[in-house]
């Protein structure tokens, strides 16, 4: 009986994986073709359109989306984000050679950290501002468990998980310069 149940589970898993392989990559958002440089928010007018290539990115089936607006802050156009139990971001697909352009600079203005957040602990990880870099790579070279995770996310959320990410966050719980490995 246990052998039969194991065979049925293995067959169902194989069918599920095969079906997931039929899923197509998420289409790019309008204007989301890769660009070779990052257009600054300060280059556009407040209350205007997003700079070239930028678009809101979210998985609304899991959380509400953060609200974003271009506003004037002391003569500079900046992004104002309002979040209440939400999670999303502004995204820009770029194709930049990090050997030629190894420096990333940004600035943010955050009035206060999120009370009770601690970026060193998964269960309390939260930050009012983050920069996340997502890298492409050969997913087939990853261990089976990671490939299975990528397939599960694609099947449930409808989007591809990046091959690798690097995130800079502003928050509390860890001193500046702390490196937290997300596993």
The SS3 assignment for 64 reads strand
Distance of CA 50 to the CA centre of its chain: 18
Contact 118, 174 (CB under 8 A): yes
The SS3 assignment for 143 reads coil
For the record, the structure tokens of 162 come out as 């990046």
pLDDT at residue 25 greater than cutoff 60: no
Burial annotation 71-87 (CB, 10 A radius, 16+ → b, else e): eeeeeebbeebebeeee
Write out pLDDT tens, residues 141-161: 989 988 898 898 888 777 788
User: Which one has a higher pLDDT value, 173 or 28?
Assistant: 173
Burial annotation 12-24 (CB, 10 A radius, 16+ → b, else e): eeeeeeeebeeee
Contact 8, 143 (CB under 8 A): no
**Domain segments of the chain: what residues?**
27-91, 104-183
For the record, the structure tokens of 145 come out as 């468990």
Report for 32-36, 42-46, 99-103, 164-168: range of highest mean pLDDT = 42-46
pLDDT of residue 45: 93
pLDDT confidence of 73, banded at 50, 70, 90? Answer: very high
pLDDT confidence of 3, banded at 50, 70, 90? Answer: low
């Amino acid at each position: 009986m246990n052998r039969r149940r194991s065979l049925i589970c293995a067959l169902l898993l194989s069918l599920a994986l095969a079906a997931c392989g039929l899923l197509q990559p998420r289409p790019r958002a309008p204007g989301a073709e890769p660009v070779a440089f990052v257009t600054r928010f300060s280059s556009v007018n407040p209350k205007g359109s997003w700079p070239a290539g930028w678009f809101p990115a979210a998985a609304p089936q899991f959380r509400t989306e953060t609200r974003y607006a271009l506003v004037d802050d002391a003569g500079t156009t900046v992004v104002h984000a309002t979040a209440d139990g939400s999670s999303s971001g502004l995204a820009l697909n770029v194709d930049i050679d990090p050997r030629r352009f190894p420096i990333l600079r940004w600035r943010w203005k955050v009035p206060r950290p999120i009370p009770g957040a601690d970026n060193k602990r998964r269960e309390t990880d939260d930050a009012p501002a983050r920069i996340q870099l997502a890298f492409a790579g050969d997913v087939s070279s990853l261990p089976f468990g990671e490939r299975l995770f990528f397939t599960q996310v694609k099947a449930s959320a409808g989007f591809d998980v990046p091959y690798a990410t690097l995130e800079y966050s502003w928050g509390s719980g860890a001193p500046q310069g702390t490196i937290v490995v997300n596993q």
